[in-house]
Structure formats: structure tokens, C-alpha cells
């Protein structure tokens, strides 16, 4: 039986391992890139469980883990954003993943539902989430939850090198 509970500070090690596993899975499986060519510094910065990001998300109070037989088998990182696309108070879902041995048992759905429900209690009016359009699981999970999806993609500009 899976239990969904709030993320705690000492979950970081297990959540980090699972998130990096899933990022690697995507990089190698869908993008056909080599993980071994990434520098340790770059790997350290990947994902919502990276050091700085983790502390920020922990404080948001909208992150949850799924526990089965005492082990973390899934997680969701969410935070409240004050305004997106003219909508005040939007739950931003940064990252969601489930260990491959525990997929297709409704765990991601439960995690997403939990963060959305708690965000609604805190006044959220909508949820925005990043979808991997090349991953059926990602698209279908959001469809099942009732997300509206059009052709929109989020564009990203790194301001470190921007003048
Ligand atoms: C995407 C992911 C989180 C789904 O986790 P999960 O716990 O297996 O998902 P659920 O069991 O809650 O599935 C909910 C619904 O999503 C859809 N779905 C999930 N996996 C699917 C798959 N492989 N193919 C098609 N639809 C899928 C189904 O509609 C499913 O409902 P159903 O089982 O009643 O048909 C998981 O595959 C994962 O961790 N992938 C790697 C990381 C990732 O891609 N994250 C998503 C970024 S948005």
C-alpha cells in the first residue's frame, strides 16, 4: 500500500538518487545522449532535488513523496507562483517521477492529486506543469488528471551569459 506524505529534509538523498536516475533515463533513452560525458558540476545542478533548489521547494510545503514498504518510490516538487498567464496563485509542478519498478500503479497520479489538492487549500487557482511531449507516460498522466494541453512550449533563456 502506498503512502503519500510531505517531503522532509532527510529525504533528500533518496529523492536525489531517484531524480537523477530518471533524468539519466530520459537523457539516454529519449535524447540518446551520453550521461558519462556530463561533468560532475553540471550533474550537481540538475533537477529540483539539487542542493539550492531542494531547500527552496522544501519550504514551499507543496512537495510530497510516495512510500512503499518503507522506501521512497516517487516524488513531486511543487511551489506556488504568484502570477502566471494572468492567473494569480498558480501551483507550479517542477518535477514528478516514480521508480520504474513501481510505475503504472497510480502513484504519480496520487502525488499530483495531493499537491494540487493542498495547493487549492492554500488558494491556488490553477496548476502549471512541464510535460515531456516525447514521453507517452508524461502526456497521458496529465491528460488523465484533466490538464489542458495545446501546442505551447516553455522557452528558456539563461541570463548568466545574457548581456
Ligand atoms: C511519468 C511517470 C511519473 C508516471 O508515473 P506512474 O506512477 O507510472 O503513473 P500512474 O500509474 O499514476 O499513471 C497515471 C496515468 O498516466 C498514464 N500513463 C502512465 N504511464 C504511462 C505509460 N507508460 N504509457 C501510457 N500512459 C501512461 C495512464 O493514463 C495512467 O492511468 P492508467 O494506469 O489508469 O491508464 C513515470 O513514468 C516516470 O517517473 N517517468 C520518468 C520521469 C518522467 O518522465 N517524469 C514526468 C515529467 S512530466
* Domains and their CATH numbers in the chain: 3-145 (3.40.630.30)
Give the model's pLDDT for residue 153: 83
Give the model's pLDDT for residue 85: 87
Q: Which of 2, 46, 108 should be mutated for ligand 1, with most atoms under 8 A from CB?
A: 108
Tell me the C-alpha distance between 13 and 49, whole Å: 9
Nearest to 147 by CA among 117, 133, 127: 127
Give the model's pLDDT for residue 73: 98
Tens of pLDDT along the chain (163 residues) come to 999 999 999 999 999 999 999 999 999 998 999 999 999 999 999 999 999 899 999 999 999 999 999 999 999 999 999 999 899 999 999 999 999 999 999 999 999 999 999 999 999 999 999 898 889 999 999 999 999 998 888 888 989 889 8
What's the CA angle centered on 39, arms 35 and 42, to 5 degrees?
95
Please report the atom of ligand 1 found closest to the CA of residue 103. 8
Residue 161 C-alpha to ligand 1 middle, in angstroms? 36
Tell me the C-alpha distance between 99 and 49, whole Å: 15
Tell me the C-alpha distance between 72 and 124, whole Å: 27
Nearest CA to ligand 1 atom 14: 141
Please report the atom of ligand 1 found closest to the CA of residue 131. 48
Residue 163 C-alpha to ligand 1 middle, in angstroms? 40
Ligand 1 cavity residues, CB under 6 Å: 22, 96-98, 103-109, 130-132, 135-138, 140-141, 144
3-state secondary structure of 152: coil
The three cell numbers locating residue 37: 560525458
Give the model's pLDDT for residue 144: 96
Residue 135 · residue 26 · CB < 8 Å: yes
Tell me the C-alpha distance between 126 and 121, whole Å: 12
Give the model's pLDDT for residue 160: 87
DSSP 49: T
**Matching residue, cell 539519466:** 24
Amino acid at each position: 500500500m502506498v503512502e503519500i506524505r510531505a517531503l522532509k529534509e532527510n529525504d533528500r538523498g533518496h529523492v536525489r538518487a531517484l531524480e537523477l536516475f530518471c533524468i539519466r533515463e530520459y537523457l539516454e533513452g529519449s535524447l540518446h545522449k551520453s550521461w558519462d560525458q556530463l561533468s560532475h558540476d553540471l550533474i550537481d545542478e540538475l533537477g529540483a532535488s539539487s542542493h539550492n533548489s531542494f531547500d527552496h521547494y522544501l519550504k514551499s510545503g507543496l512537495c510530497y513523496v510516495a512510500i512503499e514498504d518503507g522506501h521512497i518510490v516517487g516524488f513531486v516538487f511543487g511551489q506556488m507562483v504568484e502570477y502566471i498567464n494572468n492567473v494569480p496563485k498558480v501551483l507550479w509542478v517542477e518535477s514528478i517521477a516514480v521508480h520504474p519498478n513501481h510505475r503504472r500503479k497510480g502513484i504519480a497520479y496520487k502525488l499530483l492529486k495531493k499537491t494540487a489538492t493542498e495547493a487549492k487549500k492554500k488558494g491556488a487557482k490553477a496548476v502549471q506543469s512541464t510535460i515531456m511531449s516525447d514521453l507517452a507516460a508524461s502526456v497521458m498522466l496529465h491528460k488523465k488528471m484533466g490538464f489542458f494541453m495545446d501546442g505551447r512550449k516553455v522557452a528558456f533563456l539563461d541570463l548568466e551569459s545574457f548581456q
